[in-house]
């Protein structure tokens, strides 16, 4: 007896999408707590501007552009999926993955420069927050790359469904939005 998967919905929202929104809500709480802690510690202690001045604004801005571009390619992956253009899904997911890898590579270069200059997580409270928040964000980028790679492989095998690409896109956009908050806090304030 074959079991047939049915698209269930709660209040008209597909269960998968509802689950993703709940998951993202928990992630917002986690990153929100980190960001709030950073702000409270920064307000309560001095010396943060001097430490922050050692971050590389140009590299941070380039990485922001890379992630924003990857959001565009993720939107295009979903849009081409809705049109039934499987090659477009594959192409745009590929670009999203490459841009995610570029983000991680650039972040790795930045980390190596900072660490070689002596800016370790134990050097000052700023650097503890910096490495915690950007490191956790980088892990989320890596998770998004893994999800998008799975979606790309499914699309190549003809198993792709645009609703799955949409769910992957929700996660990817969340990761991008988190960076939009981290970039000014850690590089410009």
Predicted TM-score of the model (pTM): 0.89
State which fold the 62-188 domain adopts. Answer: 1.20.120
Burial per residue of 120-149, b for 16 or more beta-carbon CB atoms within 10 angstroms, e otherwise: eeebbbbbebbbebbeebbebbeebbebbe
Residue-level pLDDT at 132? 97
Mean pLDDT by 10 residues, the chain (189 residues): 49 77 93 95 85 93 97 95 91 98 98 96 94 97 97 86 87 96 93
| Structural domain spans, the chain | 62-188
Give 115: exposed, middle or buried? Use CB within 10 Å, 0-12, 13-18, 19+.
middle
Residue-level pLDDT at 29? 95
């Amino acid at each position: 007896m074959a079991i047939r998967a049915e698209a269930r919905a709660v209040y008209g929202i597909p269960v998968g999408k509802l689950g993703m929104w709940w998951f993202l809500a928990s992630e917002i709480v986690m990153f929100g707590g980190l960001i709030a802690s950073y702000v409270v510690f920064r307000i309560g202690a001095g010396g943060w501007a001097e430490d922050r001045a050692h971050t590389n604004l140009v590299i941070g801005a380039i990485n922001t552009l890379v992630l924003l571009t990857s959001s565009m390619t993720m939107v295009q992956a979903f849009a081409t999926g809705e049109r039934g253009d499987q090659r477009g899904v594959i192409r745009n997911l590929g670009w999203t993955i490459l841009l995610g890898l570029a983000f991680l590579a650039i972040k790795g270069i930045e980390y190596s420069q900072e660490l070689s200059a002596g800016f370790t997580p134990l050097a000052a409270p700023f650097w503890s927050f910096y490495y915690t928040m950007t490191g956790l964000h980088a892990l989320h980028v890596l998770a998004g790359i893994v999800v998008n790679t799975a979606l790309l492989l499914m699309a190549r095998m003809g198993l792709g469904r645009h609703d799955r690409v949409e769910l992957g896109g929700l996660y990817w956009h969340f990761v991008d939005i988190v960076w939009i908050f981290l970039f000014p806090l850690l590089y410009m304030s």
